[in-house]
């Protein structure tokens, strides 16, 4: 497929900005040029902040916000193929994954539009106590002054939309810095929002350096909120750096798929494959450890290898038949391969895959993985499926809870008591039964604890609340 490289500006308060310096973006599949993005300087950051603060965002009614979000959803739907092609060219993800991401992003816009019309006030009667008075307490919300958002490479559209759509619904202006690996999709989406009617000062979206742009952005006292999705290491660094601010950190995961003896094995192998290999395994909620009870270990493993061999081909991301494309770049694939080799040196066995060409790593199934192997002790962000035997559910829960992550997990069982036990006892933000760990709606609360986050939830409803302040007043009644 022919590709003409894109050369995009950054956007400061709705205005296209170039500085003479650019960031190159290359296609992980063949290292060809996908495009360039203009880097901004400190003077542009100051313009973005000052124009956002000067804009009377309270002039945007709920209906205005609704119409902007609905128009953006319509424009995205019209340009779905264009956005999917760009996502694939930036990330190396299979085109079918890129198309799916655009539909998820549409959901975010639709839900945010819907929520922008919902009244967020509450009323409390004050005569419910002997000390009460004939009054009522009323609450309302108003947007924060300014949001700084940083998004990762693995979902270059959906993660951006998850920051911007709830902020628009809340009426909060945003400074957004996308991943240096995938800025072009974000910049094209900024164009969609402006075309949909979003006032320029409500959004500045740009790329720039850590020292001259990102650190000043997150430490500026005029920024009230920092919201970040990405690695544990960077997230903790941001928390140490940004100072007295409201923070949302959506960090890594190391999600288990726990398969018990009574599981439907056809379902279990499908969930293991989907959870491990969709999006090239580059999801914070991807299955990173397949914990299989010993009674079904041999049969599960045989079926799993057969399914992946037949139904999960890897290769050219632009080929519609490809299910697993590349990871984000060749060094990431090489690191994953190193972790596989380290596990095999400890006694693990590669049952399928393991080969690598540049950024393409074959979907890889590894059996008999020691629990202390780096591959499973850390988050391995790619298409690896390590199988670990467990004695029972208690063993799986103890193993997961003893680690540092707390984002998501799932259990495959037909025993209701065991399913409820997993939901109650796994120290994770999400536990799903007979589904992959990452299943959710774009509307529902999502987030982790421990090294997976501070417990602050994303999802459209929670994010809108996060981007606002609540105030109360009372009146005689």
Contact between 225 and 243 (Cβ < 8 Å): no
List the structure tokens of 72.
């953006």
**Sheet strand arrangement including 174-177:** 15-17, 10-12, 203-205, 174-177, 147-150, 225-229, 246-250
For residue 357, what are the β-bridge partners? 360
Report the b/e string of 38-48 with b at 16+ CB within 10 A: bbbbeebbebb
Q: What is the dihedral of CA 206, 382, 318, 271, to 10 degrees?
A: -120
Structure tokens at 74: 């319509």
Residue 310 catalytic? no
Q: What is the largest CA-CA distance in the chain?
A: 76
The residue count of the chain comes to: 477
Residue 28, classed as helix, strand or coil, is: coil
Catalytic pick from 101, 110, 115, 250? Answer: 250
Residue in 216, 245, 218, 244 with CA at minimum distance from that of residue 230: 218
Residue 448 near residue 407, CB atoms below 8 Å: yes
DSSP string, 396-420: HHHHHHTSS--SEEEEE-S-HHHHH
Q: Which of 284, 314, 318, 362 is catalytic?
A: 284
SS3 17: strand
User: How far is residue 153 from each of residues 23, 178, 230, 282, 350, measured CA to CA in Å?
Assistant: 15, 8, 8, 9, 28
How crowded is residue 85: how many other Cβ atoms within 10 Å of its Cβ?
A: 16
Active site residue 458: no
**Residue 113 backbone dihedrals phi, psi, to 5 degrees:** -60, -45
Catalytic residues: 250, 284
């Amino acid at each position: 497929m022919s590709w003409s490289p894109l050369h995009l500006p950054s956007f400061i308060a709705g205005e296209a900005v170039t500085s003479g310096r650019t960031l190159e973006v290359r296609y992980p599949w063949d290292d060809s040029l996908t495009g360039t993005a203009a880097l901004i300087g400190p003077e542009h950051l100051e313009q973005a902040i000052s124009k956002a603060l000067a804009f009377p965002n309270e002039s945007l009614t709920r209906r205005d916000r609704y119409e902007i979000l609905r128009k953006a959803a319509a424009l995205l739907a019209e340009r779905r193929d264009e956005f999917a092609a760009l996502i694939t060219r930036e990330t190396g993800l299979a085109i079918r994954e890129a198309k799916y991401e655009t539909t998820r992003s549409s959901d975010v816009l639709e839900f945010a539009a819907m929520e922008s019309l919902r009244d967020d006030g509450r009323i409390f009667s004050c005569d419910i106590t002997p000390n009460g008075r004939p009054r009522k307490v009323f609450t309302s919300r108003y947007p924060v002054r300014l949001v700084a958002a940083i998004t990762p490479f693995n979902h270059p559209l959906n993660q951006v939309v998850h920051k911007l759509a709830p902020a628009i619904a809340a009426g909060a202006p945003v400074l957004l810095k996308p991943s240096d690996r995938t800025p072009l999709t974000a910049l094209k989406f900024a164009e969609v929002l402006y075309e949909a009617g979003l006032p320029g000062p409500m959004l500045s979206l740009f790329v720039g350096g850590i020292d001259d742009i990102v650190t000043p952005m997150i430490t500026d006292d005029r920024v009230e909120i920092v919201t970040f999705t990405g690695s544990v290491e960077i997230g903790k660094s941001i928390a140490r750096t940004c100072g007295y601010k409201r923070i949302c950190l959506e960090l890594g995961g190391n999600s288990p798929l726990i398969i018990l003896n009574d599981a439907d094995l056809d379902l279990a192998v499908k969930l293991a494959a989907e959870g491990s290999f969709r999006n090239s395994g580059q999801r914070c909620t991807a299955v990173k450890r397949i914990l299989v009870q010993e009674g079904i270990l041999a049969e599960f493993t045989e079926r799993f290898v057969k399914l992946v061999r037949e139904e999960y081909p890897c290769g050219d991301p632009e080929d519609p038949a490809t299910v697993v494309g590349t990871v984000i770049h060749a060094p990431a694939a090489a690191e994953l391969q190193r972790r596989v080799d380290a596990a095999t040196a400890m006694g693990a066995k590669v049952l399928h895959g393991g080969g690598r060409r540049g950024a393409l790593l074959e979907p890889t199934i590894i059996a008999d993985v020691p629990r202390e192997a780096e591959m499973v002790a850390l988050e391995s962000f790619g298409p690896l499926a390590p199988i670990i035997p467990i004695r029972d559910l208690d063993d799986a829960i103890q193993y997961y809870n003893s680690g540092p992550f707390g984002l998501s997990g799932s259990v495959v069982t037909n025993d209701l008591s065991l399913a409820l036990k997993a939901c109650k006892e796994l120290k994770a933000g999400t536990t799903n039964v007979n589904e992959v760990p990452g299943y959710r709606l774009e509307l529902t609360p999502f987030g982790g604890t421990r090294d997976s986050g501070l417990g602050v939830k994303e999802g459209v409803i929670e994010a809108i609340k996060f981007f606002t302040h609540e105030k109360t007043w009372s009146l005689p009644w």
